[in-house]
Amino acid sequence: MNLKKSVKGKNKKQTMLFSMPTPQPAMRLCCPHCGNDRYFLEQAEDVTITTRYLQNPDGSFTAQSDESHIQGEVKLFCGECKADLTNFRDKFIEMLF
């Protein structure tokens, strides 16, 4: 019992290391055309960007906020070969942080 107590701290550290989730290679998005798994592009069509401005006493303007509204389709492309990967976009959104 006493021996167990003395190594408790060490055991705790080890458990934390082992409980860390290891990245699964299968979870990675990979371009089926060129094998690229690092660079991706997202392109939105028909985007309306509204920016609010405040005019200062000296006549200059300061942007207050930006609002973007996407009416069209949002597509995902491979950053290397530009292949359309929109079919994989659900997975992309899932892994977007």
Which residues are at the interface with Zn ion (CB under 5 A)? Answer: 31, 33-34, 36, 78, 80-81, 83
C-alpha closest to that of 41 among 85, 91, 71, 97: 85
- Nearer to Zn ion by C-beta: 7 or 81? 81
How far is residue 50 from each of residues 47, 54, 64, 68, 69, measured CA to CA in Å?
Answer: 10, 13, 11, 6, 8
- Nearer to Zn ion by C-beta: 32 or 72? 32
- Nearer to Zn ion by C-beta: 76 or 78? 78
Question: Cα–Cα distance between 48 and 57 in angstroms, integer?
Answer: 29
Q: What's the closest the beta carbon of residue 17 comes to Zn ion, in angstroms?
A: 36
Q: What's the closest the beta carbon of residue 25 comes to Zn ion, in angstroms?
A: 18
